[in-house]
Amino acid sequence: MMKKIFIIILFTASLSFAQIDASNQYMLAQSYVQAAMYEKAKPILEELYHNQPENYEYFRSLNDVYTQLKDYDASIALIEDKLKSSSQDINLYGMLGSTYYLKGNDKKAFEVWDDALKTLPQSEVNYRVIANFAIERRTFDKAIQYLKKGQDISSNPIYFAYDLANLYSLTMQFKDATEEYCMIISQNPNQLNIVESKILGYLSKPGALQVSLPIVEKYSNSDNINFKFLLARFYIEEKSYDKAYDIYEKIDALQNSQGAQLLGFAQFLLGDKVYKTASDVYSEIINKYPNSPYVSAAKLGYAKTLEALFEEDNSAKIPSWKPFYELPKLNTGQIDKVISAYLEITKIYPHSEAANEAFLRIGELKLFKLGEISDAEVYFNDIIKDSPLSQYAADAYLDLAKASILNNELDQAASYYLKITTTGRYPDDKKNIATYRLARIYFYKGDFEKTKEYLKSMLDNLGNNSANDALELSLLLNTSANDSSNLSTFASAELLAEQNRFKEAFDKYKIVSNDPNKLMLQNLASLREAEMELASNNIDSSIVHFQKIVNDTDKNIYSDKALYLLGEIYQYNQNDKTKAIESYENLLAKFPNSLYLDQVRAEIIKLKGQTIERPM
């Protein structure tokens, strides 16, 4: 008895060791496969499979190695041998056809797949499996054929519809793709958002909208309201805004939603910068649904469109492409109309978030467009006093600080920034901005140690939105540590530039740039000189300054920015396309690592493909 037990133990132990050895061998083979050393993996896998032919993982890995080595005959023999014991395994037929396809025998591949589907039981799964092998070999027409046959026998056509629609769109059969997607919505209306995103993925391709629109129009006659939503989206893509409006109006009536759908349409138009149409839709909501809960949002949207139209109409007068610029003379009558629209909101909906946003926008128009600092402060203070918990309170503090800087009240500005950084409920992005600007306040005052203290707290978290600015200022401080006199002069110039006192700033920048020690501080001062000339509309002089910096590429680290600004002068001030393109292309050639590469490429495309438009 003991002898028998001993033999059993020995047998079990040897079996365990064999299994461990096989596992180690398989891991070794896989490491060779991952390193693309297929010849070394091949004999190991062949031995493993020979010893354990029932192990499907060994079989699959060995077949993969054969196909990688292009030993297709070995793959075919391996799969056919496996089929003798697993004749009902659809995956084996898929693999066999795939190998024939790789071998270049398309006809035989299709024959294997077709015969398998005819011979084996009719099953949705079988059709999907073979279709996936066809997709893997990128024979999409054959995959479509299998998916359609599977769909025909399926009790749930949606099971195949997404794959079919995707393949149709890949093969530019947009009409059929849209048909499939519409079928999905007809079967399951909850799929609208997914379907819409899928269709929008190909609708901009040539010819797609024209062949797809009639399909959606046909389905929109059904009682399924989701097709009306989809049709409206199609009309928007077609820029047939009147047609889209009619559809949303019908949806509003059907759902008795009191302008909710029209509001969504108007918001989309506003975001897509179709301001005039958006304005008309907002007006329609206000007039047609005066008691709707959406009227406040419509009134705010209407005021925003008026503001956007004002910006659009005056874009030629507002040189926002310049780093610094003087406030231009604008049409105050048009601004007054915008402000009146916002004021109406504050009166009808006092102490609401709509009113707070309106106050903020009025204040910013007063401050940044009209230069009426005292009047602007009134509106910012209205938010802080009446709604300190508002989402717009932090913005109001930021704008109040800017107003204080313009008034040369630096301590007051610092107190506003501190209010943001020490109030827990304000968003982190606002706190980061406030922290950086606090650092600049102390920089203006010549307190460089305090400046570094605030910058350090930002540089400990480089993921924040003001980290790059903080890094640049920190680098400037560190490289100018032994030149406190010039650094103080430069800091006072920076304050004057922010206060739009460009001539005074220019004089101080010039003192720093004239220093024979051409370090980072002097480099930046030279750039700022040119920017002050540009801000004062001394265009010819600014061009000379920028060109001097560009030609000094070995010494001035801001040469790429100077070249970029030269291009913008030629593009937006001189209307000289040729010179603008020349400047931008020089930047691409001379400074392949410049931060301005993306903007430059975009401007070149715009200049070569269309007329000059001034950026807003």
Q: pLDDT digits over 430-487, tens only? A: 999 999 999 999 999 999 999 999 999 888 776 677 888 999 999 999 999 889 999 9
pLDDT > 70 fraction of the chain, expressed in percent and rounded: 95
Residue 45 CA: distances (Å) to CA of 57, 64, 253 = 10, 10, 69
DSSP conformation letters of 302-346? HHHHHHHHHHHHTTTT--TTSSS-PPPP--HHHHHHHHHHHHHHH
- Cα dihedral sign, 540-544-546-547: positive
C-alpha closest to that of 556 among 581, 530, 532: 530
pTM of the model as a whole: 0.74
* Structure-block tokens of residue 345: 């909101």
Q: In this structure, are residues 400 and 435 in contact, taking their beta carbons and an 8 Å threshold? A: no
**pLDDT of res. 159:** 86
C-alpha closest to that of 470 among 482, 483, 459: 459
Over the stretch 325-344, which tens digit does the pLDDT of each residue have? 998 888 888 899 999 999 99
The whole-angstrom separation of Cα 26 and Cα 517 is 67
DSSP conformation letters of 263-282? HHHHHHHHHTT-HHHHHHHH
**pLDDT of res. 12:** 45
Over the stretch 87-96, which tens digit does the pLDDT of each residue have? 999 999 999 9
Number of helices and strands (H, E) in the chain?
32, 0
**pLDDT of res. 10:** 39
Residue 226 CA: distances (Å) to CA of 103, 248, 420, 487, 575 = 48, 11, 45, 64, 49
What is the H or E stretch that residue 195 is in? helix 192-200
Three-state DSSP state, 456? helix
Over the stretch 257-315, which tens digit does the pLDDT of each residue have? 999 999 999 999 999 999 999 999 999 999 999 999 999 999 999 999 999 999 888 88
The whole-angstrom separation of Cα 132 and Cα 140 is 10
* Structure-block tokens of residue 64: 């993969």
**pLDDT of res. 342:** 96
Q: In this structure, are residues 380 and 362 in contact, taking their beta carbons and an 8 Å threshold? A: no
Residue 65 CA: distances (Å) to CA of 36, 112, 583, 592 = 9, 21, 54, 43
Give the number of other CB atoms < 10 A from CB of residue 296: 17
Range of weakest confidence among 138-142, 287-291, 606-610 = 606-610
Give the number of other CB atoms < 10 A from CB of residue 46: 17
- Statement: residue 19 has pLDDT above 90: no
pLDDT band for position 553 (cuts 50, 70, 90): low
Q: In this structure, are residues 417 and 437 in contact, taking their beta carbons and an 8 Å threshold? A: yes
Over the stretch 502-513, which tens digit does the pLDDT of each residue have? 999 999 999 999
